Each structure stands twice: as C-alpha cells, then as structure tokens.
Structure 1
Amino acid sequence: MELTVKQCRSLRGRISVPGDKSISHRAVMLGALARGKTEISNYLMGEDCLSTIKCFKAMGVDISENNGVITVQGGGLQGLKEPEDVLDCGNSGTTARLLLGILAGQPFFSVLTGDQSLRRRPMGRVTTPLAQMGAGFAGRKQGTLLPLAVRGGKLKAIHYKTPVASAQLKSSILMAGLFAGGKTVVEEPVKSRDHTERMLQLFGARVEVDGCTAAVQGQPELTGQKLTVPGDISSAAFFLVAAAIVPGSDVTIEGVGLNPTRNGILEVLQNMGARIDITNRGLESGEPVGDVRVRGGMLKGTVIDGDIIPRLIDEIPVLAVAAAVAQGKTIFRDAAELRVKETDRIAAVAGELAKFGVKIEEQPDGMIIEGGKPLTGTVCTSHGDHRIGMAMAVAGLAASGKTVVQDAEIINISFPGFENVLKSIIVE
C-alpha cells in the first residue's frame, strides 16, 4: 500500500488519536492476571495490541469486544493455561518482552515467536534477569533471540540494576515479580516510562517507586478494573510536529496522555519554538491527560540528549522531521537504542530524509541534522516500521510537490486510520 501526501497550506482542526499502545498492552495483561472482570475503553485495536489479545486467548483467557470495549475475564495469577501452540507476538516487542516476564512465573512450558523483524530484536537483556529469578530459556543465540522456549516455575525476588533505561525490561521483571516470593526491585540509570507501575497499583499490587527505582511485592491479589486508555502521545506526536512545521497551522489533539515519563516531545518542540497550550487537564485510570493545542511557527535547531531521551525515544523519527525544517543545526545523542527497534531507526531516518534533500549525518548514538533548507517531495519507504512511515508522511506535508510513502500498510501496527485523520485537518 502507498500513502501519497502533498504539500499543504496549513493544518487546522480538532482531532483525537487512538488509545495508548503501551497502556493497552498492560491493561489486557493485568486484566488476565487479575480476578474478575476488567473492562477497557479506547483500547488500541492496532496489530501490536491485537497480538497481545491473541496470546492471552491462547492461554485460555476469555477476552471479547463489544461496542469498542474490551472485556477480560481474569482468573488470577495462576489462571493461565499451557498453550497448545506457539505464541505469536507478531511485530510487538512489548508483547514479547512483557509476556516473557509473565511466562517466567507459570508452571508450564511455552514458546514465543514473532515476525521477521521481531525475531531480530534482542531478548537477552530480558532473559538474563528472568533466569536469575529461576526461569529457564532455550532459543537462538544462547536464548537471546526469538523463537524462545520458556520453562516457567517458582521464582525468587531479585534486586536488579538494568544496563539501560528500558520500560520493557523493567516491566518484564516487575511482571515476573508478581509471581516471586518477597519484593522484586528494579533500579534504572534513568527513569523510563512508568505505565506498568501505575497500572499495577490500579489493579491492587503493592508498588514502591523512589526516583529511578521501582519495586513490587510478590503474590498480590489483583482485582479486575474498569478503565479508559488515554490517547497515545506517540501517535499524537506526528500531528504535533505536522502542526509545528506547517506555517499557519492550528491543531488541537483531545484526550492525550501526558505522563511525565512520556512527554519529552512537548518540551523539545517548545524549545524549538512551537507554540503549545494544554487545557482540560485531568486523570484517567491513574494517568494524566489533557488537550494539546499546537500552532505553527518558526522552529530553530536544538540539542536533544541525556535524561530526556527515554521520555521521547519513539518520537525521535518525527522529531528529526521537525529538525529538518527548523533553522540551524539539531543534534540527537544518547539514542543508540534506536538501532535495535523495529528497524535501525537512525539509519532509516537518515536515508529517507536525505531523499527529501536534508543534510543529515549519522552518528553511532544519534544524528546531526542541518535544517532550514526547502524539502523536495520524493518516493520513500517505511522500512517495515510504522513510525518511519508516519514520519515520512509528515515530512511530505512540508515538501514541495508530491511525496509517496511505500509499504504504508505497516502504519496499522499502531495507528489504524492515520491517513483519514491526517486528511481531515489538511487545508489545501
């Protein structure tokens, strides 16, 4: 599938974006481990989150959808059943890594796999601490790549210092900690997104958070909940940047999650000169939310590095588009994690933006972009990565002529209906 975008005069309107992908995954997982019924509104019906549902259905969990509400009938921590077949996580690293933590505590055998992209992504950083807790793994490259066989069982609590700030790694260990005796502690070099800690508390687990350290008490009695998933700021990011780079734009995105561990993009865009206002602030299922209004303006280059990187790691591809339009130089550092995402996002962004005429230099842990020169429409590809596909579509809005994004069907991974939402605010 191809997505065609033309340079537009401005972007105007009020929109909403799909439910947060990270929160959607965790809602189904904890709903399955809780006792009783969990009802989830605004669940992201993208392919990644559907992979999570399929995996838990394969372990005997009753999950249904009616009028946009996902209902999970949980059976408690010991309510899962040994799957009859291999569990397929599709393209979802979150499904695979968090599920490894849950399967580590199950008294049965299971096997996880995924698509070609996911089978290349590293799992060793997760299986190493889980093995220390008592789980057994067998798979490619000494149990560091999918497919992975898991022999779960009785786990012991650990205090683990992670080598990198990774919400998936932290969450996998905390999920396993639910099945361990005692308190499981995860200490990070920098605080990563905290959706797991918030949702564990919502479901009734005993969670302690102190700076970059999070702990969970094992063997809790989790109880089913009724919750609404906030709009995904990572999906909103494409419209935030689009409105910021197209002069005369005025776009409001309603009901966006504003979790402080995820809102780094707002700080960066404001530093670059975008006009951003937040109204209707509130709390939704333990998560801060609000309406975000962005108006286009003259952007300037900046430096993006250090502690803010984990708060915007998924938004760097589209922030690179903002950097391409901004006056002056923008430097991205400390983002080597992008090399092991759905694709090598540093190489993919550099290669695709160069097609627009952007002067961009790859670095081992980031890139340097000389912005401010007019972009020229081109034919680009998603590299099989939903965020690259959407980022290039945003670049096309500011590029002369026509831009074609090939292999754009991958966008459905996280944002079904992206093209329609985009068209609804374009002023030609």
Structure 2
Amino acid sequence: MDKYVSLGSVNGIITPPSSKSYAQRAIALALLAEGRTVLRNIEFCKDTHSALKCIEALGAKVEFLDDSTIAINGGLNPRSDTLHVGESGLATRLFTPIASLNRTPITIQGEGTLLYRPMTMMVEPLRQLGVNVRDGGGYLPIEVQGPIHGGEIWVDGSISSQFITGLLLALPLAEEDTTLHVDSPVSTPYIDMTIDTAHRFGIEIMQNEGDYSQFFIEGSQKYTPTDLSIEGDWSGASTMLVAGAIAGEVTVKNISTLSKQADTAICRALERAGAGLIIEQNSITVSKRDLRAFEFDATNSPDLFPALAALATAAEGESVIIGTDRLRHKESDRAETIRQEYEKLGIEVDISEDNIMKIRGGEIHPAETFSHNDHRIAMSLAVSALRCKGKVKIQNAECVEKSYPTFFEDLESIIVR
C-alpha cells in the first residue's frame, strides 16, 4: 500500500493506541499466572497478535471480551512445538526464555526482517542456566529445551534490553534463585517497565536503586492473575506530538509523563527545539513555534530516532542526535534508512563513526520514498511531508500495522487544508 502526504497544517485531538511494549509484557505474564487475567485497553496490532499466538501455543486460553479487552486463562502447558513470533523482536526475546521453562523442545520461528536480526546474545546465557539451545548461527529459528535452573549468569546488555526483560520474567519460576549480571545495559527505562509489570502480577525483582548491572531474582515465585488497563503508547504519540510542533497544534490524550516508557523523553527534545508544550495529567499539547536546532541523546530511547529526525528537519540549523549504534538491529538499519530517505526529501543527514547523527533543517521536497517495511520510518516520513509543497509518496506504508494500525486515519483526521 502506498500513501501520499502533502502540505497541511494540523489541529486536533488524538488518542494513540495502547503501548504494545506494556501489552506484550502483560500478555506474557498472563500466561505464567495460573487463573484468569483481564487486560483492558489493548490495541490489536501485529505485534500484539504475535504475542497472543505465542501464549496460546504455550497453553493459555484467550477470550476476546470486546474490541479492546481480553481475558486470559494462564498456565504453561505447551500445545505446540513451535512458537511463531511474526516480525516482533520483543516477542522473540520474551518468549524464548519463557519457552525454556518447559522440558519439551520448542522452536522459535520468525519472519521478514526478524530473520536477519542477531539473536546470539540469548544463546550462552540460556546455556549457563541449563537450557539446551540449538541455534541457526545466531539467527532464528532457535530451539530451546528446559527447564531453566537459575544460578549466576552474565548477559551482554549493550545491544538491547529485550532479552533481559525475557529473563526477568522467566527466572522467578526457576527452582533456584538467580543473580543476573548485565554488562553495559542500555534502554534501561524498558527494564523499569518490565519490573513494574512483574510487580503488578505479584513478583519481586531486586536491584540497587538506579543500578541496572545486577539483579537478584528469587526462584519458585508465583505470578498472580490480575485486572490491568494498558496505558497509552508514547512511541506512537511521539510522532503525533512532532506533527504539532512542525505543522500546527496537536493534543494527545491518554498519556502521562509519569509513565515508565522510554519515549516520554520526546518532551525534553520538543522543549529543547522550542516547541510550545502544555503538560497536563493525562494529555500533552504541542504547538508550532520557530524551532531551533537541538542536541539529544537517544541511547536509551532509540525508537524516538525517526520522530526526532522529522523534528530536526523543521528546526533552523544543525541538530545532533546521539546513539545511532542502537539502530542497526531494528526493523531496518534505521540510521542508514533515515539518511537515505530524508536525502530524497532534500535534507542533509550525516552519520559519524562516533554514533552521532547530524540533520540540517530545510525545505521538504516532493519525492517517492520507501518505508523499508519499518513502521516508525513510515510515520516519520508522513509527518515530515506535512511541510512539503508537493506530494511525498510513501511506499509500503501498511507497515504501520505493526504498532499503530490507524496512524494514517488519525493523521488525516487532524489535517487542515
């Protein structure tokens, strides 16, 4: 599916989908909690469906109560020897440790760009925990056979926090206690999200405050079923907030700056760029001002890079965004994809060897662009196109279904021409 976006101002109110990061964690824990869990305000995007398929394969029963509410009867009792995680990196790294709790061999299979994303960081730590692992040279498919024993393990946290999340959710069910050492942890707000979600299901994970290099997980704990409403998604909201900053005024509801989501950091970037910003208890309003170049470290919030790129194109001068090393193993090589697609639009983008991206603001030229099947790239290009006097074509725009299926409808609803 191709989409065309052109010059327009924006004015309106948006309610973004619920956080798929929170939803996938809650879905996984509903599997591990024996009994009935109710999850409300669920957005059924592709990644959420992948997580639901995984827990059904592992023994859960899922009941759809309405278009945003599900009941999950938990209990780990695999019905299949294969988990299909779709194109979800988080589902892969969540459910591989969870599948390793089981004594029967289970193969984790993916599709699309996920087949080219490295999974080597999972293999050795799982083996340290007593899991039999057969991997395809560090890529999917991977076969695991448990159970997980617990103990003391060391994990490389420099690429992603997602596998750490998987371990933190699985290890409370190991027979032994575990001390988890993490080398060079990144995306630490996502670890906070994991610990918070586990706590809501009755699990305690111990760490020294502000220290993400070591965790203690008591074994033989039990997850408790719960009734949980999933909060709004800051990743999807960030792109809409940038639309307000560069093209008018947008209010995004059902989000809170008190959230543990990493992408709340977009507010700091908007402030530095000089956008108008009104923060209320459960909504954020952003309005257009004369934007200035900004510097921002996105190491712990790499999903913000595409939205930050769109913001930088509308700022006067050269903006600096730090942390491009975090982008190489996303749905696309996001740093190179941003450079390639924005240069088609007439924007200068420089990526240096010291993990810095520099973007010089300027006019957006009409062009034919390609999403690279990356949902965040498609959304970033669409918002930038609001400043184009001609049309910007975005190929493979349907990729937004991965996280924000109604993105283009929501964007169109606030465009004023």
What TM-score do you get using the length of structure 2 for normalisation?
0.93
Residues 358 and 375 in structure 1, CA contact (< 8 A), matched pair in contact too: yes
Q: Deviations over 1:221-245 (max 9, x none)?
A: 1111111111100000110111111
Partner amino acid for 2:59?
G
Name the residue aligned to 1:73.
Answer: 73
User: What is the distance in 1 between the residues matched to 2:326 and 2:401?
Assistant: 23
Name the residue aligned to 1:294.
Answer: 286
**2:360 aligns with one of 357, 367, 370:** 370
Residues 183 and 217 in structure 1, CA contact (< 8 A), matched pair in contact too: yes
User: What is the distance in 2 between the residues matched to 1:74 and 1:83?
Assistant: 16
Q: Is 1:109 matched up with 2:98?
A: no
User: What is the distance in 2 between the residues matched to 1:49 and 1:204?
Assistant: 23
Q: Deviations over 1:194-228 (max 9, x none)?
A: 21100110100112242133443222111111111
Indicate how the Cα distance of structure 1 residues 257 and 55 shifts in structure 2: closer, same or farther if over 3 A, else same: farther
Report the alpha carbon displacement of residue 165 of structure 1 after superposing the two structures with TM: 6.5
Residues 302 and 323 in structure 2, CA contact (< 8 A), matched pair in contact too: no
Q: Deviations over 1:371-407 (max 9, x none)?
A: 1x21112111110111111111111111221111110
Q: Tell me, what secondary structure is at the counterpart of 1:343?
A: coil
User: What is the distance in 1 between the residues matched to 2:59 and 2:170?
Assistant: 19
User: What is the distance in 1 between the residues matched to 2:45 and 2:411?
Assistant: 17
Looking at secondary structure, tell me which structure has more strand per residue. 1
Report the alpha carbon displacement of residue 366 of structure 1 after superposing the two structures with TM: 3.8
User: What is the distance in 2 between the residues matched to 1:157 and 1:274?
Assistant: 49
**2:202 aligns with one of 180, 201, 204:** 204
Q: Tell me, what secondary structure is at the counterpart of 2:401?
A: helix
Residues 121 and 155 in structure 2, CA contact (< 8 A), matched pair in contact too: no
Report the alpha carbon displacement of residue 261 of structure 1 after superposing the two structures with TM: 5.0
Q: Is 1:50 matched up with 2:49?
A: yes
Name the residue aligned to 2:86.
Answer: 90
Residues 157 and 177 in structure 1, CA contact (< 8 A), matched pair in contact too: no
Name the residue aligned to 2:279.
Answer: 278
Residues 117 and 342 in structure 1, CA contact (< 8 A), matched pair in contact too: yes
Q: Tell me, what secondary structure is at the counterpart of 1:383?
A: coil
Indicate how the Cα distance of structure 1 residues 44 and 216 shifts in structure 2: closer, same or farther if over 3 A, else same: farther
Report the alpha carbon displacement of residue 170 of structure 1 after superposing the two structures with TM: 1.6
Partner amino acid for 2:5?
V
Partner amino acid for 1:391?
S
Sequence identity (%): 30
Superposed, 1:340-419 pairs within 5 Å as 340-364=329-353, 365-371=355-361, 373-419=362-408
User: What is the distance in 1 between the residues matched to 2:325 and 2:407?
Assistant: 28
User: What is the distance in 1 between the residues matched to 2:206 and 2:383?
Assistant: 40
User: What is the distance in 1 between the residues matched to 2:155 and 2:93?
Assistant: 17
User: What is the distance in 2 between the residues matched to 1:130 and 1:403?
Assistant: 46
User: What is the distance in 2 between the residues matched to 1:124 and 1:353?
Assistant: 32
**Residues paired across the two proteins, number:** 406
Partner amino acid for 2:341?
E
Q: Tell me, what secondary structure is at the counterpart of 2:71?
A: strand
Superposed, 1:3-402 pairs within 5 Å as 3-8=3-8, 10-67=9-66, 68-75=68-75, 79-84=76-81, 86-141=82-137, 144-160=138-154, 162-164=156-158, 166-180=160-174, 181-187=176-182, 188-190=184-186, 191-193=188-190, 194-209=192-207, 210-213=209-212, 214-246=215-247, 249-258=248-257, 259-262=259-262, 263-280=264-281, 290-305=282-297, 308-310=298-300, 312-364=301-353, 365-371=355-361, 373-402=362-391
Q: Deviations over 1:61-90 (max 9, x none)?
A: 101212121110012xxx322514x21111
Residues 113 and 147 in structure 1, CA contact (< 8 A), matched pair in contact too: yes
Gapped runs of 5+ residues in structure 1? 281-289
Gapped runs of 5+ residues in structure 2? none
User: What is the distance in 2 between the residues matched to 1:331 and 1:255?
Assistant: 30
User: What is the distance in 2 between the residues matched to 1:268 and 1:317?
Assistant: 13
Report the alpha carbon displacement of residue 91 of structure 1 after superposing the two structures with TM: 0.8
Indicate how the Cα distance of structure 1 residues 40 and 33 shifts in structure 2: closer, same or farther if over 3 A, else same: same
User: What is the distance in 1 between the residues matched to 2:134 and 2:145?
Assistant: 9
Residues 58 and 99 in structure 2, CA contact (< 8 A), matched pair in contact too: no
Q: RMSD of aligned C-alpha atoms?
A: 1.6
User: What is the distance in 1 between the residues matched to 2:103 and 2:142?
Assistant: 16
Moved more, 129-138 or 165-174: 165-174
User: What is the distance in 2 between the residues matched to 1:104 and 1:189?
Assistant: 23
Residues 174 and 215 in structure 1, CA contact (< 8 A), matched pair in contact too: no
Partner amino acid for 1:185?
L
User: What is the distance in 2 between the residues matched to 1:381 and 1:427?
Assistant: 25
Report the alpha carbon displacement of residue 159 of structure 1 after superposing the two structures with TM: 4.7
Indicate how the Cα distance of structure 1 residues 183 and 257 shifts in structure 2: closer, same or farther if over 3 A, else same: farther
Residues 169 and 198 in structure 2, CA contact (< 8 A), matched pair in contact too: no
User: What is the distance in 2 between the residues matched to 1:231 and 1:111?
Assistant: 32
Name the residue aligned to 1:285.
Answer: none
